[in-house]
Amino acid sequence: MTAFSFSVTHTDGRARRGRMSTPHGEVDTPAFMPVGTQGAVKGVTHRDLESLGAEILLSNTYHLYLRPGDDLIARRGGLHAFTGWSKPFLTDSGGYQVFSLAARRTIDEEGAHFRSHLDGSAHLLTPEKATDIQAQLGSDIAMVLDECLAHPADEAAARQSMERTLRWAQRARARFLALSDKSGHPPLPIVTNPGQAQFGIVQGSIYPDLRDESARRTVEIGFEAYAIGGLSVGEPSDVMYDMVDRSTPCLPEGRPRYLMGTGTPEDLVEAVARGIDLFDCVLPTRNARNGQLFTSEGRLNIKNARYAEDDRPPDPACGCYTCRTCSRAYLRHLYMAGEINSSTLNTLHNLNFYLDTLRRIRDAIVFRRFESFRREFHQSLSRQLQDQ
Protein backbone atom coordinates (compact mmCIF):
# COMPACT_ATOMS: atom_id res chain seq x y z
CA MET A 1 0.00 0.00 0.00
CA THR A 2 1.57 3.30 -1.11
CA ALA A 3 1.46 5.90 1.60
CA PHE A 4 0.27 9.38 0.81
CA SER A 5 2.88 11.80 -0.52
CA PHE A 6 3.08 15.03 -2.46
CA SER A 7 5.76 16.92 -4.30
CA VAL A 8 5.77 20.26 -6.07
CA THR A 9 7.49 19.74 -9.42
CA HIS A 10 7.22 23.25 -10.93
CA THR A 11 6.29 26.72 -9.76
CA ASP A 12 5.39 29.87 -11.67
CA GLY A 13 4.82 32.82 -9.35
CA ARG A 14 2.71 31.33 -6.58
CA ALA A 15 1.09 28.78 -8.92
CA ARG A 16 2.28 25.21 -8.31
CA ARG A 17 2.40 22.11 -10.49
CA GLY A 18 2.70 18.96 -8.42
CA ARG A 19 1.99 15.29 -8.04
CA MET A 20 0.06 13.66 -5.23
CA SER A 21 0.49 9.93 -4.59
CA THR A 22 -2.26 7.93 -2.92
CA PRO A 23 -2.87 4.21 -2.34
CA HIS A 24 -5.02 4.18 -5.50
CA GLY A 25 -2.79 6.13 -7.82
CA GLU A 26 -1.29 9.47 -8.63
CA VAL A 27 -3.01 12.78 -9.15
CA ASP A 28 -1.48 15.60 -11.17
CA THR A 29 -2.11 18.94 -9.50
CA PRO A 30 -3.67 21.47 -9.69
CA ALA A 31 -6.56 19.03 -9.97
CA PHE A 32 -10.33 19.20 -10.09
CA MET A 33 -12.37 16.49 -8.35
CA PRO A 34 -15.78 15.77 -9.89
CA VAL A 35 -18.42 15.29 -7.18
CA GLY A 36 -19.81 11.76 -6.91
CA THR A 37 -22.30 12.26 -4.12
CA GLN A 38 -23.69 8.72 -3.93
CA GLY A 39 -20.48 7.02 -5.09
CA ALA A 40 -21.30 8.01 -8.68
CA VAL A 41 -21.09 11.27 -10.63
CA LYS A 42 -24.67 12.03 -11.63
CA GLY A 43 -25.42 11.23 -15.27
CA VAL A 44 -22.08 9.68 -16.27
CA THR A 45 -20.35 6.33 -15.76
CA HIS A 46 -16.90 5.65 -14.31
CA ARG A 47 -15.86 4.73 -17.87
CA ASP A 48 -16.84 8.23 -19.03
CA LEU A 49 -14.88 9.78 -16.16
CA GLU A 50 -11.76 7.79 -17.01
CA SER A 51 -11.98 8.80 -20.66
CA LEU A 52 -12.31 12.44 -19.58
CA GLY A 53 -9.09 12.02 -17.61
CA ALA A 54 -10.54 12.41 -14.10
CA GLU A 55 -7.90 11.21 -11.66
CA ILE A 56 -9.79 11.57 -8.38
CA LEU A 57 -13.44 11.75 -7.30
CA LEU A 58 -15.07 13.27 -4.26
CA SER A 59 -17.81 11.35 -2.51
CA ASN A 60 -20.10 12.45 0.31
CA THR A 61 -19.85 10.79 3.70
CA TYR A 62 -23.25 12.03 4.89
CA HIS A 63 -25.12 10.40 2.00
CA LEU A 64 -23.18 7.11 2.05
CA TYR A 65 -23.45 6.85 5.85
CA LEU A 66 -27.25 7.17 5.69
CA ARG A 67 -27.61 5.01 2.57
CA PRO A 68 -26.45 2.29 1.99
CA GLY A 69 -24.44 2.69 5.22
CA ASP A 70 -20.69 2.59 5.81
CA ASP A 71 -20.97 -0.84 7.49
CA LEU A 72 -22.41 -2.32 4.30
CA ILE A 73 -19.70 -0.66 2.18
CA ALA A 74 -16.94 -1.84 4.56
CA ARG A 75 -18.25 -5.41 4.28
CA ARG A 76 -17.87 -5.08 0.48
CA GLY A 77 -14.20 -4.07 1.01
CA GLY A 78 -14.65 -0.28 0.92
CA LEU A 79 -15.70 2.34 -1.56
CA HIS A 80 -13.32 1.31 -4.36
CA ALA A 81 -14.42 -2.33 -4.35
CA PHE A 82 -18.08 -1.37 -3.92
CA THR A 83 -18.21 1.22 -6.70
CA GLY A 84 -15.64 -0.19 -9.14
CA TRP A 85 -13.80 3.16 -9.30
CA SER A 86 -10.17 2.10 -8.92
CA LYS A 87 -8.59 5.56 -8.80
CA PRO A 88 -8.40 7.83 -5.75
CA PHE A 89 -11.41 8.96 -3.74
CA LEU A 90 -11.62 11.89 -1.36
CA THR A 91 -14.50 11.84 1.12
CA ASP A 92 -15.78 14.90 2.93
CA SER A 93 -16.60 14.67 6.64
CA GLY A 94 -20.36 14.83 6.27
CA GLY A 95 -20.49 18.09 8.18
CA TYR A 96 -21.47 20.30 5.27
CA GLN A 97 -24.50 18.16 4.39
CA VAL A 98 -25.55 17.94 8.04
CA PHE A 99 -25.56 21.73 8.08
CA SER A 100 -27.32 22.09 4.74
CA LEU A 101 -29.65 19.06 4.39
CA ALA A 102 -30.44 17.44 7.70
CA ALA A 103 -33.53 18.27 9.68
CA ARG A 104 -33.64 19.48 13.28
CA ARG A 105 -29.89 19.72 13.72
CA THR A 106 -28.29 21.01 16.89
CA ILE A 107 -24.59 21.51 17.34
CA ASP A 108 -22.83 21.21 20.67
CA GLU A 109 -19.28 20.49 21.78
CA GLU A 110 -19.78 16.76 21.30
CA GLY A 111 -20.81 17.04 17.65
CA ALA A 112 -23.83 17.51 15.39
CA HIS A 113 -27.14 15.94 16.39
CA PHE A 114 -29.47 15.66 13.43
CA ARG A 115 -32.28 13.77 11.80
CA SER A 116 -31.87 12.04 8.46
CA HIS A 117 -33.47 13.86 5.51
CA LEU A 118 -34.46 10.38 4.23
CA ASP A 119 -36.39 8.81 7.10
CA GLY A 120 -36.19 11.17 10.07
CA SER A 121 -33.97 8.81 12.11
CA ALA A 122 -31.78 10.44 14.80
CA HIS A 123 -27.99 10.53 14.44
CA LEU A 124 -24.96 12.06 16.12
CA LEU A 125 -21.96 12.98 13.98
CA THR A 126 -18.88 13.59 16.14
CA PRO A 127 -15.30 14.21 14.98
CA GLU A 128 -14.51 10.61 15.95
CA LYS A 129 -17.57 9.21 14.19
CA ALA A 130 -16.79 11.11 10.96
CA THR A 131 -13.25 9.66 11.10
CA ASP A 132 -14.60 6.13 11.68
CA ILE A 133 -17.11 6.32 8.84
CA GLN A 134 -14.42 7.46 6.41
CA ALA A 135 -12.07 4.68 7.64
CA GLN A 136 -14.79 2.18 6.78
CA LEU A 137 -15.41 3.82 3.38
CA GLY A 138 -11.68 3.58 2.73
CA SER A 139 -11.25 6.79 0.77
CA ASP A 140 -7.68 7.81 -0.01
CA ILE A 141 -8.22 11.20 1.60
CA ALA A 142 -10.48 11.77 4.61
CA MET A 143 -11.52 15.18 5.89
CA VAL A 144 -11.89 16.25 9.53
CA LEU A 145 -15.32 17.30 10.78
CA ASP A 146 -15.46 21.09 10.94
CA GLU A 147 -18.19 23.47 11.96
CA CYS A 148 -19.76 25.13 8.92
CA LEU A 149 -20.71 28.66 9.80
CA ALA A 150 -23.43 30.48 7.89
CA HIS A 151 -22.38 33.61 5.99
CA PRO A 152 -22.43 36.36 7.11
CA ALA A 153 -21.17 35.76 10.66
CA ASP A 154 -19.84 38.40 13.04
CA GLU A 155 -16.27 38.13 14.23
CA ALA A 156 -17.12 36.82 17.70
CA ALA A 157 -19.23 34.00 16.26
CA ALA A 158 -16.54 33.25 13.68
CA ARG A 159 -13.90 33.01 16.43
CA GLN A 160 -16.04 30.67 18.56
CA SER A 161 -16.66 28.46 15.56
CA MET A 162 -12.98 28.46 14.58
CA GLU A 163 -11.99 27.46 18.13
CA ARG A 164 -14.51 24.61 18.12
CA THR A 165 -13.26 23.44 14.71
CA LEU A 166 -9.71 23.34 16.15
CA ARG A 167 -10.84 21.26 19.14
CA TRP A 168 -12.73 18.93 16.79
CA ALA A 169 -9.64 18.69 14.55
CA GLN A 170 -7.55 17.52 17.52
CA ARG A 171 -10.15 14.88 18.37
CA ALA A 172 -10.40 13.74 14.74
CA ARG A 173 -6.60 13.44 14.49
CA ALA A 174 -6.35 11.50 17.75
CA ARG A 175 -9.01 9.09 16.49
CA PHE A 176 -7.34 8.75 13.08
CA LEU A 177 -3.99 7.90 14.72
CA ALA A 178 -5.66 5.43 17.09
CA LEU A 179 -7.18 3.62 14.09
CA SER A 180 -3.82 3.25 12.36
CA ASP A 181 -2.32 1.98 15.63
CA LYS A 182 -4.16 -1.33 15.84
CA SER A 183 -3.56 -1.49 19.59
CA GLY A 184 -6.35 1.12 19.94
CA HIS A 185 -9.60 0.70 21.80
CA PRO A 186 -12.03 -1.91 20.44
CA PRO A 187 -14.53 -2.12 18.95
CA LEU A 188 -12.77 -0.32 16.13
CA PRO A 189 -14.26 0.20 12.70
CA ILE A 190 -12.98 -1.79 9.74
CA VAL A 191 -10.11 0.17 8.18
CA THR A 192 -10.56 -0.70 4.51
CA ASN A 193 -7.69 1.51 3.25
CA PRO A 194 -4.71 1.54 5.64
CA GLY A 195 -2.92 4.14 3.49
CA GLN A 196 -5.65 6.75 3.99
CA ALA A 197 -4.53 10.36 4.59
CA GLN A 198 -6.41 12.90 6.71
CA PHE A 199 -6.65 16.59 5.82
CA GLY A 200 -7.21 19.40 8.33
CA ILE A 201 -9.46 22.37 7.50
CA VAL A 202 -8.72 26.07 7.97
CA GLN A 203 -11.74 28.15 9.00
CA GLY A 204 -12.17 31.75 10.14
CA SER A 205 -14.93 33.12 7.91
CA ILE A 206 -13.92 36.39 6.22
CA TYR A 207 -11.64 37.62 9.04
CA PRO A 208 -7.98 37.63 7.98
CA ASP A 209 -6.57 37.39 11.52
CA LEU A 210 -8.81 34.41 12.27
CA ARG A 211 -7.76 32.74 9.01
CA ASP A 212 -4.07 33.21 9.94
CA GLU A 213 -4.57 31.83 13.42
CA SER A 214 -6.69 28.91 12.23
CA ALA A 215 -4.06 27.97 9.63
CA ARG A 216 -1.20 28.18 12.14
CA ARG A 217 -2.98 26.12 14.81
CA THR A 218 -4.32 23.52 12.35
CA VAL A 219 -0.79 23.01 11.02
CA GLU A 220 0.42 22.59 14.64
CA ILE A 221 -1.97 19.64 15.07
CA GLY A 222 -0.33 18.07 12.02
CA PHE A 223 -2.16 16.54 9.04
CA GLU A 224 -1.06 15.03 5.74
CA ALA A 225 -2.42 18.17 4.06
CA TYR A 226 -4.67 21.18 4.57
CA ALA A 227 -7.90 22.50 3.14
CA ILE A 228 -9.44 25.95 3.19
CA GLY A 229 -13.08 25.68 4.19
CA GLY A 230 -15.97 28.03 4.77
CA LEU A 231 -15.58 29.94 1.50
CA SER A 232 -17.85 30.00 -1.59
CA VAL A 233 -20.76 30.37 0.81
CA GLY A 234 -22.12 33.61 -0.57
CA GLU A 235 -19.29 36.08 0.04
CA PRO A 236 -18.18 38.25 -2.94
CA SER A 237 -15.46 36.57 -5.01
CA ASP A 238 -12.85 39.25 -4.27
CA VAL A 239 -13.32 38.53 -0.54
CA MET A 240 -12.83 34.83 -1.22
CA TYR A 241 -9.68 35.54 -3.24
CA ASP A 242 -8.36 37.70 -0.37
CA MET A 243 -8.93 34.91 2.15
CA VAL A 244 -7.18 32.37 -0.08
CA ASP A 245 -4.37 34.87 -0.67
CA ARG A 246 -4.00 35.22 3.07
CA SER A 247 -4.25 31.51 3.94
CA THR A 248 -1.88 29.80 1.51
CA PRO A 249 1.35 31.40 2.84
CA CYS A 250 0.45 30.04 6.31
CA LEU A 251 0.33 26.46 4.97
CA PRO A 252 3.38 24.20 4.47
CA GLU A 253 4.97 24.41 0.99
CA GLY A 254 5.37 20.66 0.73
CA ARG A 255 1.73 19.70 1.37
CA PRO A 256 -1.26 19.97 -0.99
CA ARG A 257 -3.70 22.83 -0.44
CA TYR A 258 -7.36 22.14 -1.13
CA LEU A 259 -9.93 24.90 -1.62
CA MET A 260 -13.24 23.24 -0.72
CA GLY A 261 -16.39 23.67 -2.79
CA THR A 262 -15.02 26.15 -5.34
CA GLY A 263 -16.00 27.22 -7.91
CA THR A 264 -16.45 28.81 -11.33
CA PRO A 265 -13.74 28.34 -13.97
CA GLU A 266 -12.57 31.91 -13.23
CA ASP A 267 -12.34 31.08 -9.50
CA LEU A 268 -10.17 28.05 -10.22
CA VAL A 269 -7.67 30.10 -12.23
CA GLU A 270 -7.56 32.81 -9.54
CA ALA A 271 -7.10 30.28 -6.74
CA VAL A 272 -4.26 28.51 -8.60
CA ALA A 273 -2.61 31.93 -8.92
CA ARG A 274 -2.70 32.06 -5.10
CA GLY A 275 -1.17 28.62 -4.58
CA ILE A 276 -4.13 26.19 -4.47
CA ASP A 277 -3.65 22.58 -5.68
CA LEU A 278 -7.04 20.84 -5.32
CA PHE A 279 -10.66 21.72 -6.07
CA ASP A 280 -14.11 20.23 -5.99
CA CYS A 281 -17.42 21.75 -6.99
CA VAL A 282 -20.90 20.67 -8.04
CA LEU A 283 -21.18 23.52 -10.58
CA PRO A 284 -20.13 21.64 -13.75
CA THR A 285 -22.37 18.66 -13.02
CA ARG A 286 -25.35 20.41 -11.42
CA ASN A 287 -25.44 23.18 -14.02
CA ALA A 288 -25.19 20.59 -16.80
CA ARG A 289 -28.41 19.00 -15.59
CA ASN A 290 -30.00 22.45 -15.58
CA GLY A 291 -28.95 23.01 -19.19
CA GLN A 292 -26.05 25.38 -18.56
CA LEU A 293 -22.81 24.69 -20.42
CA PHE A 294 -19.43 26.19 -19.53
CA THR A 295 -17.62 27.05 -22.76
CA SER A 296 -14.48 28.83 -23.91
CA GLU A 297 -16.77 31.75 -24.84
CA GLY A 298 -18.68 31.88 -21.55
CA ARG A 299 -21.83 30.19 -20.33
CA LEU A 300 -24.41 28.87 -22.73
CA ASN A 301 -27.98 28.11 -21.62
CA ILE A 302 -29.07 25.41 -24.00
CA LYS A 303 -32.78 25.89 -23.28
CA ASN A 304 -32.63 29.34 -24.90
CA ALA A 305 -34.93 29.50 -27.97
CA ARG A 306 -32.11 30.98 -30.06
CA TYR A 307 -30.47 27.52 -30.20
CA ALA A 308 -33.52 25.74 -31.63
CA GLU A 309 -31.99 25.64 -35.13
CA ASP A 310 -28.34 26.28 -34.29
CA ASP A 311 -26.27 23.53 -35.93
CA ARG A 312 -22.97 24.51 -34.32
CA PRO A 313 -21.41 22.41 -31.53
CA PRO A 314 -21.91 23.84 -28.03
CA ASP A 315 -18.24 24.89 -27.85
CA PRO A 316 -16.37 25.01 -31.19
CA ALA A 317 -13.06 24.98 -29.26
CA CYS A 318 -13.91 21.76 -27.38
CA GLY A 319 -12.98 18.24 -28.48
CA CYS A 320 -15.27 16.31 -26.11
CA TYR A 321 -17.68 13.60 -27.30
CA THR A 322 -20.67 15.94 -26.97
CA CYS A 323 -19.07 18.72 -29.02
CA ARG A 324 -17.84 16.27 -31.65
CA THR A 325 -21.24 14.67 -32.16
CA CYS A 326 -24.04 17.01 -31.05
CA SER A 327 -25.39 20.33 -32.27
CA ARG A 328 -26.86 23.00 -30.03
CA ALA A 329 -30.20 22.33 -31.74
CA TYR A 330 -30.10 18.64 -30.77
CA LEU A 331 -28.98 19.35 -27.19
CA ARG A 332 -31.76 21.93 -26.82
CA HIS A 333 -34.30 19.41 -28.09
CA LEU A 334 -33.08 16.76 -25.60
CA TYR A 335 -33.28 19.27 -22.76
CA MET A 336 -36.78 20.46 -23.69
CA ALA A 337 -37.97 16.85 -24.03
CA GLY A 338 -36.63 15.93 -20.58
CA GLU A 339 -34.55 13.19 -22.19
CA ILE A 340 -32.03 11.54 -19.81
CA ASN A 341 -29.32 11.90 -22.49
CA SER A 342 -29.53 15.66 -21.98
CA SER A 343 -27.96 15.34 -18.53
CA THR A 344 -25.34 12.86 -19.69
CA LEU A 345 -24.20 14.82 -22.75
CA ASN A 346 -24.17 18.18 -20.95
CA THR A 347 -22.28 16.68 -18.00
CA LEU A 348 -19.66 15.12 -20.29
CA HIS A 349 -19.02 18.52 -21.85
CA ASN A 350 -18.90 20.50 -18.61
CA LEU A 351 -16.57 18.04 -16.89
CA ASN A 352 -14.35 18.04 -19.97
CA PHE A 353 -14.25 21.84 -19.85
CA TYR A 354 -13.20 21.83 -16.18
CA LEU A 355 -10.68 19.00 -16.48
CA ASP A 356 -9.23 20.49 -19.66
CA THR A 357 -8.93 23.90 -18.02
CA LEU A 358 -6.87 22.27 -15.24
CA ARG A 359 -4.72 20.47 -17.85
CA ARG A 360 -4.04 23.78 -19.56
CA ILE A 361 -3.23 25.39 -16.20
CA ARG A 362 -0.73 22.61 -15.41
CA ASP A 363 0.95 22.99 -18.81
CA ALA A 364 1.11 26.76 -18.42
CA ILE A 365 2.86 26.40 -15.04
CA VAL A 366 5.41 23.94 -16.47
CA PHE A 367 6.25 26.34 -19.31
CA ARG A 368 6.19 29.32 -16.94
CA ARG A 369 3.50 31.13 -18.86
CA PHE A 370 0.74 30.93 -16.26
CA GLU A 371 0.32 34.73 -16.13
CA SER A 372 -0.34 34.98 -19.87
CA PHE A 373 -2.68 31.98 -19.66
CA ARG A 374 -4.55 33.68 -16.83
CA ARG A 375 -4.90 36.94 -18.76
CA GLU A 376 -6.06 35.23 -21.96
CA PHE A 377 -8.50 33.02 -20.03
CA HIS A 378 -10.23 36.00 -18.48
CA GLN A 379 -10.22 37.93 -21.78
CA SER A 380 -11.82 35.03 -23.59
CA LEU A 381 -14.55 34.68 -20.97
CA SER A 382 -15.20 38.42 -20.91
CA ARG A 383 -16.23 38.28 -24.57
CA GLN A 384 -19.06 36.13 -23.24
CA LEU A 385 -22.12 35.04 -25.05
CA GLN A 386 -24.52 37.36 -23.23
CA ASP A 387 -26.81 34.51 -22.61
CA GLN A 388 -28.14 34.72 -19.07
Residue numbers annotated as active site: 92, 280
Q: Give the nearest distance from C-beta 337 to Zn ion in angstroms.
A: 21
Say if residue 334 is exposed, middle or buried (CB neighbours under 10 Å; 0-12, 13-18, 19+). Answer: buried
Q: Give the nearest distance from C-beta 265 to Zn ion in angstroms.
A: 13
What lies within 8 Å, CB to CB, of 272 at 6+ separation is: 15, 16, 30, 361, 365, 370
When asked if residue 231 is in the footprint of Zn ion (CB under 5 A), the reply is: no
Q: Which is nearer to Zn ion, 141 or 320 (CB)?
A: 320
Q: Which is nearer to Zn ion, 175 or 349 (CB)?
A: 349
When asked if residue 302 is in the footprint of Zn ion (CB under 5 A), the reply is: no
Q: Give the nearest distance from C-beta 349 to Zn ion in angstroms.
A: 4
Contacting range for Zn ion; rule: CB under 5 A; set: 154-162, 169-177, 284-292, 317-325: 317-325
Q: Which is nearer to Zn ion, 136 or 350 (CB)?
A: 350
When asked if residue 323 is in the footprint of Zn ion (CB under 5 A), the reply is: yes
Q: Which is nearer to Zn ion, 95 or 265 (CB)?
A: 265
Q: Give the nearest distance from C-beta 347 to Zn ion in angstroms.
A: 11
Q: Which is nearer to Zn ion, 302 or 323 (CB)?
A: 323
Contacting range for Zn ion; rule: CB under 5 A; set: 135-143, 268-276, 310-318, 357-365: 310-318
When asked if residue 318 is in the footprint of Zn ion (CB under 5 A), the reply is: yes
What lies within 8 Å, CB to CB, of 306 at 6+ separation is: none
When asked if residue 326 is in the footprint of Zn ion (CB under 5 A), the reply is: no
When asked if residue 349 is in the footprint of Zn ion (CB under 5 A), the reply is: yes
In this structure, the number of other CB atoms found within 10 A of the CB of residue 45 comes to 12
Q: Among 288, 302, 320, 326, which residue interacts with Zn ion (rule: CB under 5 A)?
A: 320
Q: Give the nearest distance from C-beta 323 to Zn ion in angstroms.
A: 3
Using CB under 5 A as the binding criterion, the count of chain residues that bind Zn ion stands at 6
Residues within the interface to Zn ion (CB under 5 A): 315, 318, 320, 322-323, 349
